[in-house]
Amino acid sequence: MQRHYASDSKQAQQQAAFIDDLKCDVVARAFLAYLRSKRPWLLQDLVVQNTPSRISDLPTYAEEARHQVDIWQKRLYFLLHMVPVGVVSQLMHQLRKWQVLSSQAEASKTPDDQTLYSNCLQVMVLYLDMHDAKFDGGTAILIDDTRRQTLQSCFEREEDFASCFPSNVKPSLSGDAHIPLRGLREMPRFGGANVLTPVFQQHPITAAECVNWQELETKIKEAQKTREALHAEWVKNRKGFTKQTEYEQALDTCTHHRHLAHRVRLVDHLQLHSLLMAVLARLADYAGLWERDLYFVSLALCYHERLNPAQIFGESGKHGNYFDGGEIVEAVRKESSCDKVIQKKAKDLFGTACEKGHPTVNIRNDLSHF
């Protein structure tokens, strides 16, 4: 939080440089460990020989054969553009976690699983690499009329928006580093702005708030230094500390500045949009959980009634067996392919939600297809 709130851009650059150096050290050590285990010959000391070795004698490793891109990979790459970058990154992390955990049970893993994992990972890595390609900050956001109008509608006056969001601001640690440019680019992109814009317009950022924020910008650096110095004094001598009033004033200035900065720079608006996306994702997940529960309950009912699922759900639809294909709602719905006992007891547990046109099914379809 202290780093996020630091007003001194030079100090922020130094802190970021320390983190970058740490990342480089970690990568260097990991690469050294990889060379020692996989390519030890690269670390051998060079020995001067009278007769130089021919290049053809050096050990080489065959380049991995290029494979054709499957059509589903192209579709997945397109669909990833409708998903927030953070979610794609988390999903890629989960895939890698699955790869590590499943390596302990190689017998249960098939070559198709490994191929599918590698192909999915390639698409996600490509998307994350290309997401910020040629992104130059404020110009990319404000050059589009729709995006500019969406963000501008959060302010009471157009000139206040122009002063807080100059078109030349860059996504870097210099200058207005705490303007969430990348997040603001995604807010209109995923359609959440259409839902939240009426809320933002009911509580616009006023001219007085912009003026107060600009005034506090000139005082915040000194207030931070005062707060840090007084806090250090308080830590050393809590009982004998006599500058409570000065400490409270400095702390109040910092808190008020942070509150206004988050509002004027649309950080609060972006957090509300992130919350909306998380809620929608959770609702879609609930739809999947409902379908999963119906699937396992149907299996349990088959077991309880001593029925063979292969016989009950054996009839095929257009795309094969609905039950084996995971289309449990369609499988239970078909009277010709589902035993009456299963249908009746499934309705007792899940209501009439499996019937076509039922509001619950429609909600589930909308969320799943969202």
Per-residue pLDDT of 179-193, as tens digits, reads 666 677 777 777 667
The listed range with the strongest mean pLDDT (143-152, 222-231, 321-330) is: 222-231
How many Cβ atoms sit within 10 Å of the Cβ of residue 176? Answer: 16
pLDDT score at 232: 86
Taking CA atoms, 104 is separated from 82, 95, 356, in Å, by: 34, 15, 43
pLDDT (average), residues 74-100: 82
Q: Does the pLDDT of residue 320 top 70, yes or no?
A: no
Residue 321's DSSP bridge partners are: 316
Q: Reduce the DSSP state of residue 174 to 3 states and report it.
A: coil
Query: Which of these ranges, 92-101, 137-146, 161-170, has the smallest mean pLDDT?
Result: 137-146
Comparing 167 with 284, the larger pLDDT belongs to 284
Q: Does the pLDDT of residue 108 top 50, yes or no?
A: yes
Query: Which of these ranges, 14-28, 93-107, 314-328, has the smallest mean pLDDT?
Result: 314-328
Tell me the percentage of the chain whose pLDDT exceeds 70.
63
Q: Report pLDDT digits (tens) over 33-73.
A: 887 787 776 666 545 555 555 555 555 544 444 557 778 88
Six-digit token pair at 63?
């380049």
Q: Report pLDDT digits (tens) over 21-34.
A: 888 888 888 888 88
Cα distance between residue 130 and residue 30, in whole Å: 25
Q: How confident is the model at residue 350 (pLDDT cuts 50, 70, 90)?
A: low
Q: Does the pLDDT of residue 121 top 80, yes or no?
A: yes
The listed range with the strongest mean pLDDT (142-151, 158-167, 330-339) is: 158-167
User: Across all residues in the chain, what is the average pLDDT?
Assistant: 73
Cα distance between residue 355 and residue 343, in whole Å: 10
Residue 257 exposed, middle or buried by CB count within 10 Å (0-12, 13-18, 19+): buried
Strands 316-317 and 320-321: antiparallel
DSSP 205: B
pLDDT (average), residues 142-168: 73
Nearest to 89 by CA among 147, 141, 142, 129: 129
Q: Residues 34, 199: contact at Cβ < 8 Å?
A: no
pLDDT score at 176: 46
∠ CA 341-347-350, nearest 5°, is 135
pTM over 0.85: no
Residue 316's DSSP bridge partners are: 321
Q: Does the pLDDT of residue 309 top 50, yes or no?
A: yes
Tokens 């794609």 found at: 88
Q: Report pLDDT digits (tens) over 192-236.
A: 677 788 888 888 888 888 888 888 888 888 888 888 888 888 888
pLDDT score at 69: 77
Q: Residues 220, 176: contact at Cβ < 8 Å?
A: no
Nearest to 151 by CA among 179, 195, 187, 182: 187
pLDDT score at 64: 47
Cα distance between residue 329 and residue 342, in whole Å: 12
